[in-house]
Amino acid sequence: MNGEKKAASSREPSEVELLLPWHAAGALGSREAQAVEAALANDPELALRYEWVREELAQETLIGDTLGEPPAHDVEALFARIDALPPRRAASNTIAARFAELFASLSPRALAWSAMAAAVVIVLQATVIAGILLNANNGVGYQTASEPTNITDQGSDVLLRFKPQASADQIADFLASNKLSIVGGPFAGGLYRVRVAPTKLAKADLSRVIDRLQNDQIVGFIAAAE
Amino acid sequence: MQTIADDILIASIAKGDRSAMATLFARYRVPVYRFLLRMVRNEATAEELNGDVFLEVWRHAATFEGRSAVSTWIFSIARFKALSALQRRREEELDEGEAGTIEDKADDPEIALAKKDKAAVLRQCLEKLSAEHREIVNLVYYQHKSVEQIAGIIGIPVATVKTRMFYARKKLSDLLRKQGIDRGWP
């Protein structure tokens, strides 16, 4: 009997079981809700467990409702704090304005990296365009003796997207505390190329860095940059 | 009466519209406050953080891109504020990890009486959950957020949302068992 109970409690829950709390809260889409309803109708044990879920919801609701409310004067307090803020610049949604805002929040070191990255990108673009033009002339023409520049050879980079709610201050703190610098972007989808180490890290080491950074509250997406 | 959509309010707030801010604040001040209080378990801190959350909304409304619902954005700000506050006072905070230091009220006649009341015991156990588990339980059962909304608020994959809720409920079962109530699942 005890063994059975232990086995039951240690088994993996089904998808329907996982959804029971959301079903009780009325937070499922109609298709999922119908699937849960059907399972409950055919499985008396599941229906019994659902009663526990409903009881949990009832008690959490009771706890929440008895937490009270913030003080009635909180709206005045909020507007007093808003009034104390420095005058707001005209809101702008242009990419240029956001780019300027982001870079205003970066450290001088990060800014220097960004400037260098921008310079490298320009050189790369010029090289590529020149190459296309030269190829168009069947390879006949002037050739430079310089090595092709490749930014990824200089260190280890990741592609990173910050969560939309991350503030400029949070991003600046994140970059500073993790000794990171933005070396490229923003690219499509709000991605930035971020340097995590000045030297080329081993794949396993880079994975560890990515895993650590991924846990940060403001990181929405992160992956190793090719 | 027609309700103005949240995203329209945010667009107005981005332009400095104070009445839009007041409307949004009136709409969310109580649920956000209760979410914060459930997390930090201190009224003064929850009040302060509530103001911080909406100040952040005012300051950053122009950067809201509508990739998630406004309420998801607001709750994610609230969550970040609550976690930061908890981290600041981590050493003093009574949490599940310090459950051993919670005063044992087992001999209190009121508690003994309460133990006969399953609902009261369940409430006690819900209160004893860790901040991480209190958070998800509150978001599902009290704030009625969908799996996808919670994934957006917490910043974790949808599958993790479901399993985290499952483990929160499993922990609840463990706590109930210690109080003499064995529901056998999860």
A-chain residues near B175 (CB < 8 A): none
**Domain membership flag for residue A3:** no
Q: How confident is the model at residue A59 (pLDDT cuts 50, 70, 90)?
A: very high
The predicted pLDDT at position B96 comes to: 52
More confident residue, A205 or B1: A205
Please check whether residues B61 and B14 belong to one and the same domain: yes
> B129: domain range?
100-178
Please check whether residues B84 and B118 belong to one and the same domain: no
pLDDT mean over A22-48: 95
pLDDT mean over A97-125: 53
Compute the distance between CA of residue B114 and CA of residue A20 in angstroms, rounded to an integer: 27
Q: How far is A27 from chain B (nearest CA, A)?
A: 5
Task: For chain B, positions 93-132, list CB contacts with chain A under 8 A.
Answer: 118-119, 122-123, 126-127
CB-based contacts of B28: which residues, under 8 Å, 6+ apart?
Answer: B54, B71, B74
Q: How far is A58 from chain B (nearest CA, A)?
A: 8
Q: Is the pLDDT of residue A129 over 50?
A: no
Report field, pTM of the whole predicted structure over 0.80: no
pLDDT mean over A54-73: 94
The total number of structural domains in chain B stands at 2
**Domain membership flag for residue B52:** yes
Residues A191, A193, A196, A202: what is their CA dihedral angle, to the nearest 10 degrees? Answer: 100
* DSSP state at residue A155: S
**Domain membership flag for residue A5:** no
The predicted pLDDT at position B5 comes to: 92
Please check whether residues B80 and B11 belong to one and the same domain: yes
Beta bridge partners of A219: A162
Compute the distance between CA of residue A198 and CA of residue A153 in angstroms, rounded to an integer: 10
Compute the distance between CA of residue B24 and CA of residue B134 in angstroms, rounded to an integer: 25
| Percent of chain A residues topping a pLDDT of 70 | 61
Please check whether residues A218 and A158 belong to one and the same domain: yes
**SS3 for A193?**
strand
- With b for 16 or more beta-carbon neighbours within 10 A and e for fewer, the B44-82 pattern comes to ebbbbbbbbbbbbbbbbbbbbeeebbbbbbbbbbbbbbb
The predicted pLDDT at position B186 comes to: 63
Please check whether residues A67 and A166 belong to one and the same domain: no
The predicted pLDDT at position A102 comes to: 55
Q: What ipTM was predicted for this assembly?
A: 0.84
The total number of structural domains in chain A stands at 2
Boundary-marking domain end, from B45, B66, B88: B88
For the record, the structure tokens of A101 come out as 């805002």
Compute the distance between CA of residue B92 and CA of residue B106 in angstroms, rounded to an integer: 23
Q: How confident is the model at residue A2 (pLDDT cuts 50, 70, 90)?
A: very low
**Domain membership flag for residue A64:** yes
pLDDT truncated to tens, each residue of chain B (186 aa)? 457 899 999 999 999 999 999 999 999 999 999 999 999 999 999 999 999 999 999 999 999 988 889 999 999 999 999 998 888 877 555 555 544 444 444 445 555 555 568 899 999 999 999 999 999 999 999 999 999 999 999 999 999 999 999 999 999 999 999 988 888 766
A-chain residues near B67 (CB < 8 A): 164
B-chain residues near A63 (CB < 8 A): 38, 123, 126-127, 142
Q: How far is B23 from chain A (nearest CA, A)?
A: 10
Burial of B175 per CB tally in 10 Å (0-12, 13-18, 19+): buried
Q: Is the pLDDT of residue A155 over 50?
A: yes
The domain spanning residue B112 has which CATH number?
Answer: 1.10.10.10
Compute the distance between CA of residue A69 and CA of residue B29 in angstroms, rounded to an integer: 8
Interface check for A13 against chain B (CB to CB < 8 A): the answer is yes
Beta bridge partners of A191: A187
Compute the distance between CA of residue B154 and CA of residue B132 in angstroms, rounded to an integer: 10
Compute the distance between CA of residue A224 and CA of residue A196 in angstroms, rounded to an integer: 10
Compute the distance between CA of residue A139 and CA of residue B144 in angstroms, rounded to an integer: 66
Interface check for B144 against chain A (CB to CB < 8 A): the answer is yes
Closest chain B residue to A18 measured between Cα atoms?
A: B162
CB-based contacts of B104: which residues, under 8 Å, 6+ apart?
Answer: none
Boundary-marking domain end, from B45, B67, B88: B88
> A218: domain range?
95-224
Please check whether residues A181 and A148 belong to one and the same domain: yes
Interface check for A8 against chain B (CB to CB < 8 A): the answer is yes
Boundary-marking domain end, from A63, A86, A109: A86
Boundary-marking domain end, from B88, B113, B130: B88
pLDDT, averaged across chain A: 74
For the ranges A30-39, A139-148, A153-162, A171-180, the one whose mean pLDDT is highest? A30-39
Compute the distance between CA of residue B35 and CA of residue B33 in angstroms, rounded to an integer: 5
Q: How confident is the model at residue A174 (pLDDT cuts 50, 70, 90)?
A: confident
pLDDT mean over A33-43: 96
**Domain membership flag for residue B16:** yes
Q: How confident is the model at residue A214 (pLDDT cuts 50, 70, 90)?
A: confident
Are A167 and B144 inside 8 Å of each other by CB?
Answer: no
